[in-house]
Amino acid sequence: MAINTIDEVIAALDSIIQRAWDERSRLGYFAALYRRVTRAVKEGIAKNQFLDGPRMERLDVIFASRYLDAYDAYQAQGSPSRCWKVAFDASTDASLIVLQHLLAGMNAHINLDLGVAAAQVCPGDSIEQLKSDFDMINTVLAAQVGAVESEMSAISPLVNTLSQVGLKSESTIINFNIDLARKAAWLTAERLAKEPAMLQGITIDALDLAVSLEGRAILYPPFKGDALQAIRAVEQQDARKVIEVLNADPTA
């Protein structure tokens, strides 16, 4: 089913979250986080935080549709993009901490999907008109990620020890740097917007491969495995309870 409005995006996310809750599936973790981000973007549009509200809704819909299409393909045992398959496959791995599941999804959605979606909304030289709102949507995303981080102690009591074991710095968490990801997404958007259509598929495929490797580095870092297992050992084990925390309305 085609998605045309931000309300339809939220409804589709609600369906994924409900199915994940019913099945006690970790696939609901990223969906719950993404629902919060989407609601924040909707509120930002209503409050005129963006220069072009209708264009921002189109970007949000196209951006979200890449995740929703990948999810549908995966559930149908089809072929989603490589980086999303890495993230989705990880949902069956009980050894991973909750934060790794979230970061694997963010890696796929920002490092691949965001740049592709931006170029589709503003092809050619018009991409430069999107820069201000592109930066704003990233500010909204960062705010929501920060809010979830502050709530993680209810799910993962030891997650704040990541910095102590060398898996978190000021800008990087388990091989994922959100600031670098956002900057890379803009460079991708500029390149694809100005690239001949016949070459775009090749560029996206190569990027997908690179991002999938980044996803594996998030999920299976070569070092500090013992520290991650210690964090996992005291985390909330019930996927339903994790989804409920991530899906909570922060304004309630």
8 A C-beta contact, residue 171 and residue 177? yes
Structure confidence at residue 202 as a pLDDT band (50, 70, 90)? very high
Both tokens of 109, joined, read 């959605």
The alpha carbon torsion through 96, 241, 162, 213 (nearest 10 deg) reads: 40
CA 236, distance to chain mean position in Å, is 21
Mean pLDDT of 174-191: 91
Structure confidence at residue 1 as a pLDDT band (50, 70, 90)? low
User: Residue 189: pLDDT above 70?
Assistant: yes
Cβ neighbours of 216 (radius 10 Å): 16
Could you tell me what percent of the chain has a pLDDT over 70?
Answer: 97
**3-class DSSP assignment, residue 168:** strand
How crowded is the C-beta side of 174, counted as CA atoms within 13 Å? Answer: 26
As a whole number of angstroms, the distance between CA 7 and CA 171 comes to: 32
Handedness of CA 21, 16, 97, 150 (dihedral sign): negative
Structure confidence at residue 250 as a pLDDT band (50, 70, 90)? low
pLDDT digits (tens, 9 = 90+) for 161-174: 888 878 887 668 88
Handedness of CA 242, 243, 249, 252 (dihedral sign): negative
As a whole number of angstroms, the distance between CA 102 and CA 30 comes to: 5
pLDDT digits (tens, 9 = 90+) for 122-154: 999 999 999 999 988 877 777 777 777 777 888
The whole-chain average pLDDT of the chain stands at 92
Residues 6+ apart with CB under 8 A from 200: 119, 192
pLDDT digits (tens, 9 = 90+) for 97-110: 999 999 999 999 99
8 A C-beta contact, residue 217 and residue 143? no
Among 33, 32, 26, smallest CA distance to 14 is for 32
Q: What is residue 147's predicted lDDT score, i.e. its pLDDT?
A: 74
pLDDT digits (tens, 9 = 90+) for 45-74: 999 999 999 999 999 999 999 999 999 999
Q: What is residue 211's predicted lDDT score, i.e. its pLDDT?
A: 97
